[in-house]
Structure 1
Amino acid sequence: MAETLVRFEGVRKTYGGTAAAVVGLDLDIARGELLTLLGPSGSGKTTTLMMLAGFEMPSAGRILLEGRDIAHTAPHRRGIGVVFQSYALFPHMTVAENVAFPLSVRSIGRGERDERTRKALAMVRLDGFADRRPAQLSGGQQQRVALARALVFEPPIVLLDEPLGALDKALREEMQLEIRHLHQRLGVTMMYVTHDQAEALTLSDRIAVFEGGRIRQCADPKRLYDRPADAFVAGFVGENNLLPGIVATREGDDCTVRLACGPVVSAQAVDCGGVGERCLVAIRPERIAVAGVDAADLGERAMPATLQEAIFLGDHVRLRLGLGDGGEVLAKRPTGIGTLPEPGGPASIAWPEGAAFAFRDAAKQG
């Protein structure tokens, strides 16, 4: 196993009399990995990053960096690189001076400082920009400068707090790949905070999904997407249909669920409770097959539906289908495959065995 670089042990953060922002956090970050903290606003992910950076103090617990408790160490003594969404560049300094600043405060000699600054700028593809001011750069270029500044003094870990949030979609996607490739090339440890699921899936070795100050699941992107641990993760990471129902039978890791719209379907019993309990059946839109009137096309698992809307999105068509109880499901079908019924017309849907997961419907319990 990779060596643990950072460890959170029972970390808690409260603000006055309000509910805890972070509750009982236990988390290890391996040396050389890119770990993303993903979650909605107020879930505790940024507070976690700020505690590691030293800008927030934990109310309880320990934060270890290379085995050393740093919970009460001043930020500038932790030797951690930080990249903010706002870039936080000095407008009166040149690009080179901004990048060299962490070396200057560490009293690195002029010759070594210039050489490391040159290498850092080349690393982020900003050769030739050394004498420009931040105001003369695009948003993406400024973000590269901020990244070079965080890396130039070779910190043990770099923290990135929603660094691409101010960029447009195309530039954000380009920078995601650039950060990923930079991480792979340098092997530097990174903790990355975002609320963008696609960004997390693109960048990460592992993703920790936060909700209510707790980690709901921490896993590699594929496992997180294919095997969500609960209904919150299933609904937050990527698109998922969450169909309400009641557990009809359960045997080990398999169960059947009577959906609110009538049909009984099989699912993998991740966290669905016992027979008679309310649950949610999760099925990804891309796993749902759609046929016309002839339900036999999809086999015995097919259930009736009504095509309500079809939206062309280039490489796929997004379908909204109504079910018998007034509910609906979303499906994605590759462009140019098969013939769809007209909106308002009857259809049928099905999904492969093992593609659905059943979770406890926490909102309906009790």
Structure 2
Amino acid sequence: MADPLVRFEGVRKSYGAGPAAVQSLDLDIARGELLTLLGPSGSGKTTTLMMLAGFELPSAGRILLEGRDIARLPPHRRGVGVVFQSYALFPHMSVAENVAFPLSVRGVAKAAQADRVRRALAMVRLESYGERRPAQLSGGQQQRVALARALVFEPPIVLLDEPLGALDKALREEMQLEIRHLHQRLGVTMMYVTHDQAEALTLSDRIAVFEGGRIRQCADPRRLYDRPADAFVAGFVGENNLLPGRIEARDAESCEVRLACGPVVRAEAVDAGGPGEGCLVAIRPERVAVAGVTAAELGEGALPATVLEAIFLGDHVRLRLGLGDGGEVVAKRPAGLGALPEPGGAAAIAWPEGAAFAFRDAGARV
């Protein structure tokens, strides 16, 4: 990235003994980008955000904002907007006073404050709520006020740390789209932290997947979902069948894998070793085709299976299928595509070429 707004160079954060919370982080954030840091609890994503905000100091490395090293600057001198899960609104202040607070501490004139507060509240569709107190607002409205407060002083970047975690599912999904549309409309740069994969896929221009203090993959949502770089990303982002096996043969791009449950399948060798090495074969449930016929009837490459469970979920049916000697595969089939065998009935499964990926797995047993 030639001219990033933010650059992390070899950043590390340690808390005494034990593994570092963030290890040798190199990451660029482009101007106008919405970058999401995604990962399980303790993976280093929030620590990374806090170092950019100035609430944590890195143990090593540089953090550049518009080309200037800010790693040792206090938070109030960085000019970064921050939105927390708790919103951190002042209960004794009105909505307008909360939004105006960053302007007050920066010495902006009262007349200019009023105009900028009005525009900030209009951005989040709360123009008529300026005189209310936070306690008089819903959770979603409080979140919008917090976002307006982070935007009102026009920071170069806004950091959002699990900002929707306290909302119910319906409101959370509504606010995801609200933030996405606001970002697209304003073009403001955002760093967003979440552990929710669906939220990350909905919001992001790019997603950096964290695990163990490191980035395992950083890519746009479609590439991350369709072409995971390793078994961790495949298992963490969305749902995947991860079938243990051992490589029997391979070329530069693909390999033949004997699954632990018996059958031999072909998969793309994304992050796989050579013949004889253990691996995991990943197939998304929605890529698995299921038919209530024998494998021979479904065609070359089809595998015999037994329906173990079928759950109707409105727009699709979720199927759990037994495969070979103790193996199981989950498939998702759109509702209304015809009858399926009942649990206990015979079936066959297949998937298109390029839908299965092989990854290293030193712990596989065949």
TM-score range, shorter chain: over 0.9
Aligned-residue offset at 1:324: 1.8
SS of structure 2 residue aligned to 1:325: coil
SS of structure 1 residue aligned to 2:129: coil
Q: Which amino acid aligns with 1:44?
A: G
In 2, Cα distance between equivalents of 1:328 and 1:226? 22
Q: Which amino acid aligns with 1:88?
A: A
- Cross-structure match for 1:248: 248
- Does the 8 Å contact 1:46/1:193 carry over to 2? yes
- Structure 1 stretch displaced more, 169-178 or 294-303: 294-303
- Superposition pairs of residues 67-106 of structure 1, within 5 angstroms: 67-106=67-106
Q: Could you list the runs of 4 or more consecutive aligned residues of structure 1 that deviate by over 2 angstroms after TM superposition?
A: 293-298, 362-365
- Cross-structure match for 1:239: 239
SS of structure 1 residue aligned to 2:281: strand
Aligned-residue offset at 1:293: 2.9
SS of structure 1 residue aligned to 2:180: helix
In 2, Cα distance between equivalents of 1:344 and 1:165? 40
- Does the 8 Å contact 1:2/1:30 carry over to 2? no
- Cross-structure match for 1:152: 152
In 1, Cα distance between equivalents of 2:24 and 2:169? 35
In 2, Cα distance between equivalents of 1:313 and 1:63? 46
Render the CA deviation track for 1:183-226: whole Å, top value 9, x for unaligned: 00000000000000000000000000000000000000000000
Q: Which amino acid aligns with 2:220?
A: D
2:65 is equivalent to residue 65 of structure 1: yes
In 2, Cα distance between equivalents of 1:157 and 1:363? 42
In 1, Cα distance between equivalents of 2:30 and 2:169? 30
2:350 is equivalent to residue 350 of structure 1: yes
- Cross-structure match for 2:338: 338
Aligned-residue offset at 1:16: 1.0
Give 5+ residue unaligned stretches, structure 1. Answer: none
- Does the 8 Å contact 1:33/1:188 carry over to 2? yes
Aligned-residue offset at 1:364: 4.2
2:51 is equivalent to residue 51 of structure 1: yes
- Cross-structure match for 1:19: 19
- Cross-structure match for 2:206: 206
Aligned-residue offset at 1:322: 1.1
SS of structure 1 residue aligned to 2:127: coil
Aligned-residue offset at 1:2: 6.9
**Cα gap change, 1:186 to 1:2, in 2 (>3 Å):** farther
**Cα gap change, 1:117 to 1:2, in 2 (>3 Å):** farther
Render the CA deviation track for 1:146-180: whole Å, top value 9, x for unaligned: 00000000000000000000000000000000000
In 1, Cα distance between equivalents of 2:230 and 2:362? 10
- Does the 8 Å contact 2:263/2:324 carry over to 1? no
SS of structure 2 residue aligned to 1:141: helix
TM-score w.r.t. structure 1 length?
0.98
2:261 is equivalent to residue 261 of structure 1: yes
- Cross-structure match for 2:175: 175
- Cross-structure match for 1:283: 283
Give 5+ residue unaligned stretches, structure 2. Answer: none
Query: How many residues are paired up?
Result: 365
- Superposition pairs of residues 93-172 of structure 1, within 5 angstroms: 93-172=93-172
- Cross-structure match for 2:325: 325
SS of structure 1 residue aligned to 2:128: coil
CA root-mean-square deviation: 1.0
TM-score w.r.t. structure 2 length?
0.98
- Does the 8 Å contact 2:159/2:190 carry over to 1? yes
Sequence identity percentage: 83
Q: Which amino acid aligns with 1:80?
A: V
Render the CA deviation track for 1:231-267: whole Å, top value 9, x for unaligned: 0000000000001111011110111111111111111
In 2, Cα distance between equivalents of 1:345 and 1:116? 66
